[in-house]
Structure 1
Amino acid sequence: MQIIFGIFLPFFGTLLGAAFIYFLKREIRGGYKQCLLGFASGVMVAASVWSLLLPSIELEQRRGAFSFVPAAVGFFLGFLFLIGTDQLVCWMKNRGAELTEDENHWKKNSLLVLAVTIHNIPEGLSVGAAFAGVLSGQPGFTIVSACLLAFGIAVQNLPEGFIVALPFRDRGYSRSRSFVYGMLSGAVEPVASVGMILLTAWLRPLLPYLLAFSAGAMVCVVVEELLPDAVEKGKYHTGTMGFCAGFLLMMILDVALG
């Protein structure tokens, strides 16, 4: 029962974070919107560094001076994947014609959901690896340490669930529908955890690449879709300050709960 609870704990964090969307008004305008977009960007960049890239490098310390290779390869492939997906979405929607405003917002939201969902897969694998160690009786793995890891990821998922639901609410979606989109981005985590427990021998060597791949995908979305809107015609640097706040919050959560 403890293992089942631990596997689902990160998903509950995403669910709770998405629920904060019920406290927002229907439309988000002006500096408030730019601040929230900047905040979301800061959260995603910090998560990419402390939750994904640094762990990817640490897992490959045995390579010595070349421990950066899996992180660099995975990050680059993640960037290429999101850019390719962006081009594919544009082609599928209008067959090469220019996207309308609504279609462009739909594309941005879809890429954001995709990037955060991809980011959640290696986090789920990490939790699964911890519980796989507990089940196999490996030295250094305890049910307490595995549950603490799951709890730390759950806390980090709070702002992530919110930033996925946010753009849907901004486009006029109902609170419930926005909440569902935010919640679904984390549904992949327990699936990935169970997969890791069942297929540890095959998936563990790929984890450094998957972590960095997710980081590349998230940073690509931030640079292409979120930051331009966060700083567009900004007053008083609200988007920039939002980025700073989001980055600091996620950095503190990652380091304190890491």
Structure 2
Amino acid sequence: MFLIALDHLIPYLHVGSDQAEGPKSKLGRTTKMVLAVTLHNIPEGMAVGVMYAGFLAENAQITATSALALSLGIAIQNSPEGAIISMPLRAEGESKRKAFLGGVLLGVVEPIGAVVMILAAQMVIPALPYLLSFAAGAMLYVVVEELIPEMSQGQHSNIGTLFFALGFSLMMILDVALG
């Protein structure tokens, strides 16, 4: 729900699409793409922060290795994300330096999200399972919204994502209830 709210507040453009989503704006194509990738990076940072918060809280199931593995996995996939932003900036006439800096700065929201989640988790350790669930749900939303192209096309792209979430929730309830 958090990311759906952000979807409606921030104008953005899916990679490979000419139709913008979110509120109407006069922002350029590249700016909308930057906003889309930034929106995608928020839950990534939250996921890393919650993992480290769990490790710092000495949760037996979260090890330093698992937190590091998640961090490295997300860091590795940030390289192509940076290129997704840097290349259009360069094509629009920006200098190599500005285009590179634009791609690097895009990832700044991740450490900010991670620190916010670590601080929030440290203040409210009992909320850690809920924060982990929030981060996992946000990541699922991003995966469904961005990686299944048929779901993110058209005027009512959130309907497919919402029904995916409903179906996933139902399966999780059945899994827990039926063992």
TM-score by length of 1: 0.45
Look up the equivalent residue of 1:175 and give its one-letter code.
Answer: K
Distance (whole Å) between structure 1 residues aligned to residue 102 and residue 85 of structure 2? 7
Does residue 81 of structure 2 align to residue 160 of structure 1?
yes
Tell me the CA shift for residue 130 of structure 1: 1.0
Q: Where is the helix percentage greater, Structure 1 or Structure 2?
A: 1
- The runs of 5 or more residues in structure 1 that have no matched partner are 1-72, 91-105, 225-258
Look up the equivalent residue of 1:113 and give its one-letter code.
Answer: V
Which residue does 1:131 correspond to in 2? 52
Distance 1:193 1:180, change over 3 A: same
Per-residue CA deviation, residues 154-191 of structure 1 (Å, 9 max, x unaligned), is 11111101001111101111001111111111001111
Local SS of the residue matching 1:199: helix
- The runs of 5 or more residues in structure 2 that have no matched partner are 12-20, 122-126, 155-179
Distance (whole Å) between structure 2 residues aligned to residue 153 and residue 117 of structure 1? 14
Local SS of the residue matching 2:28: helix
Distance (whole Å) between structure 2 residues aligned to residue 143 and residue 111 of structure 1? 36
Distance (whole Å) between structure 2 residues aligned to residue 124 and residue 192 of structure 1? 5
Structure 2 counterparts to residues 214-225 of structure 1, below 5 A: 214=142, 216=145
Distance 1:138 1:146, change over 3 A: same
Distance 1:138 1:208, change over 3 A: closer
- Structure 1 segments of 4+ aligned residues over 2 angstroms from their partners: 73-85, 200-220
Distance (whole Å) between structure 2 residues aligned to residue 190 and residue 181 of structure 1? 16
Distance (whole Å) between structure 1 residues aligned to residue 70 and residue 141 of structure 2? 21
Distance (whole Å) between structure 2 residues aligned to residue 212 and residue 76 of structure 1? 12
Larger RCO (alpha carbons 8 Å, 6+ apart): 1
Structure 2 counterparts to residues 43-192 of structure 1, below 5 A: 77=5, 79-81=7-9, 82=11, 83-85=21-23, 87=24, 89-90=25-26, 107-192=28-113
Which of 207, 212, 219 is matched with 2:135 structurally? Answer: 207
Distance (whole Å) between structure 1 residues aligned to residue 8 and residue 146 of structure 2? 8
Distance (whole Å) between structure 1 residues aligned to residue 67 and residue 136 of structure 2? 19
Q: How many residues align?
A: 134
Local SS of the residue matching 2:62: coil
Distance (whole Å) between structure 2 residues aligned to residue 168 and residue 223 of structure 1? 24
Distance (whole Å) between structure 1 residues aligned to residue 80 and residue 43 of structure 2? 18
Q: CA RMSD in A?
A: 2.9
Distance (whole Å) between structure 2 residues aligned to residue 187 and residue 145 of structure 1? 22
| Percentage of identical aligned residues | 35
Distance (whole Å) between structure 2 residues aligned to residue 208 and residue 134 of structure 1? 16
Kept in 1, the 8 Å contact 2:30–2:89? The answer is yes
Which residue does 2:157 correspond to in 1? none
Distance 1:171 1:223, change over 3 A: farther
Kept in 1, the 8 Å contact 2:86–2:99? The answer is yes
